[in-house]
Amino acid sequence: MTRRFHPLLSLALAGGLLLAPAPAILSQTPGPGAEVLAQKPTGAVLLTITGPVAGQAVPLTLQLDQAMLAALPQASFTTTTIWTEGPQTFTGVPLSALLAATGMTGRAILARAINDYSVEIPVETWPAEGPIVAYLRNGKPMSVREKGPLWIVYPYDARSDYRSEVVYSRSIWQLDRLELKP
């Protein structure tokens, strides 16, 4: 099986230009799922990710559809939210795994919704059991009316610090863009 990578990513890999991570900076060679991100979407684009790749002058832009998101590492959890009634089960891609698969670098992401609401999320605030980019709620895709198709969701019931105004403001729904910031 031949793995295809995005042309800029292939160039960076061939030239050995991806550097080791620095403290508090997302920076690494592409992680699990990189081969998925190297493909072109065949369905409707749900998420565009843009960011610098170490050693490259031009930022990399990736577009993902539902099938590509589903092919990346997955996580599910059940939690309550301040926006829904009762416990909800969310399934999606851990934010840390999604960004690791890109091989991009940055200290923060700027998450943007379809209505242009945006919020900056610092890298150091992503614990291992942290937020996911959810595309299913209770086993079903989310419509725009239901805060979808993508929603950054934290397991709010797992930790008291997830139940804060700061974390709630980072729980962006109708997500369509992520931009890594240096």
Average pLDDT for the chain: 84
Q: According to the model, what pLDDT value does residue 105 have?
A: 80
Beta carbons of 91 and 74 less than 8 angstroms apart? yes
Question: Model-level pTM greater than 0.85?
Answer: no
Sorted by where each starts, the structural domains of the chain and their CATH numbers stand as 7-181 (3.90.420.10)
Report the C-alpha gap between 21 and 28 in whole angstroms.
5
Of residues 13 and 103, which shows the higher confidence score? 103
Parallel, antiparallel or unpaired: strands 175-181 and 45-51: parallel
Q: According to the model, what pLDDT value does residue 129 have?
A: 77
What is the mean pLDDT of the segment spanning 163-179?
Answer: 96
Coil, helix or strand for 31?
coil
Position 77 pLDDT exceeds 60: yes
What is the mean pLDDT of the segment spanning 76-96?
Answer: 97
Position 29 pLDDT exceeds 90: no
Q: According to the model, what pLDDT value does residue 13 have?
A: 37
Note every long-range contact of 39-44, with CB atoms under 8 Å and residues 24 or more positions apart, other chains counting.
Answer: 39/4, 39/68, 41/65, 41/67, 41/68, 42/67, 43/67
Shortest CA distance to 73 belongs to which of 27, 45, 31? 31
Tokens of 31: 């992680």
What is the mean pLDDT of the segment spanning 159-171?
Answer: 94
Contacts of 61 (CB under 8 A, 6+ apart): 48, 49, 50
What is the mean pLDDT of the segment spanning 141-145?
Answer: 96
